Structure 1
Amino acid sequence: MTAYGIAHLRQAGPLHDEVYEYLERIQATMDPFGGVFLVHGSPVDVLEGVWPGALVLIEFPSMDAARQWYRSPAYQEILPLRADHLVGDLILVEGCGRDHDSAQFAADLRALAASS
């Protein structure tokens, strides 16, 4: 199942030289694990709530690949270049698949709640 790395960079600037170096090096850390950027700092159209900062969305072929990338010596080496200068959160999450049916998901949750 496809997995995603999602970063919410709440404070995106001003950029430090080390952040530029991080940006220059991150793709090489993702390549061995099949990681690709889907969103990388594009403008966010906030429809509800507040979203300060920027969004980064990286796709991986699996949760295992995403975890291996994050824990890899190559990524861990460059991680401080970003983390020491940008405030944000990073999560890994498994996708639900293109055949996901939210109505069936609701039915399954109702059945689970009723059996509790």
Structure 2
Amino acid sequence: MPKAYWINTFRSITDQEKLAAYIELAGPAMRAAGGTFLARGLPAAAFESGTVERTTLIEFDSVEAAVAAYHSPAYQEALRALDDGAVRDLRIIEAVPETSA
């Protein structure tokens, strides 16, 4: 089963306190669900329609695991803490299958 990647891009942040509360809860929720943070923070570069707001990349063992993490009670609590404090674009994509040489 291919790994999956959770890509969370903030389009705008309107409440830094709500964002801080979200981060406090979301990180542990993702790790508890089996997620591994690969990158997070402000982009080093953005092109075309890219935004320079906070972006997070998390690896999961599967799409199902990433979707389950989103629906988990712990992550839903993090979303309630964010409560309209930001506009985001969240995607879960399946990894490209490994090829044999």
Q: Report the TM-score, using the length of structure 2 for normalisation.
A: 0.82
SS of corresponding position for 1:77: helix
Runs of 4+ in 1 over 6 A off after TM superposition: none
Secondary structure of the corresponding residue to residue 45 of structure 1: coil
C-alpha contact 2:13 2:19 (8 A) present in aligned 1: no
Larger Rg: 1
Q: How does 1:1-116 map to 2 (within 5 A)?
A: 1-12=2-13, 15=16, 17-46=17-46, 48-52=47-51, 53-99=53-99
Q: For residue 5 of structure 1, what is the amino acid of its counterpart?
A: W
Distance 2:60 2:72 in 1: 14
Query: Please, which runs of 5 or more residues in structure 1 have no aligned partner?
Result: 101-116
Q: Which has the higher helix share?
A: 1
1:96 is paired with a residue whose SS is coil
Cα RMSD for the two superposed structures = 2.0
Q: Which runs of 5+ in 2 are unaligned?
A: none
TM-score, normalization by structure 1: 0.72
Asked if 2 retains the 8 angstrom alpha-carbon contact of 1:44 and 1:55, the reply is: no
Of Structure 1 and Structure 2, the greater strand share is in 2
Amino acid at match of 1:7: N
Contact 2:11 2:88 in 1 (8 A): yes
- Whole-angstrom CA distance in 2 between matches of 1:82 and 1:92: 20
Fraction of identical pairs, as percent: 34
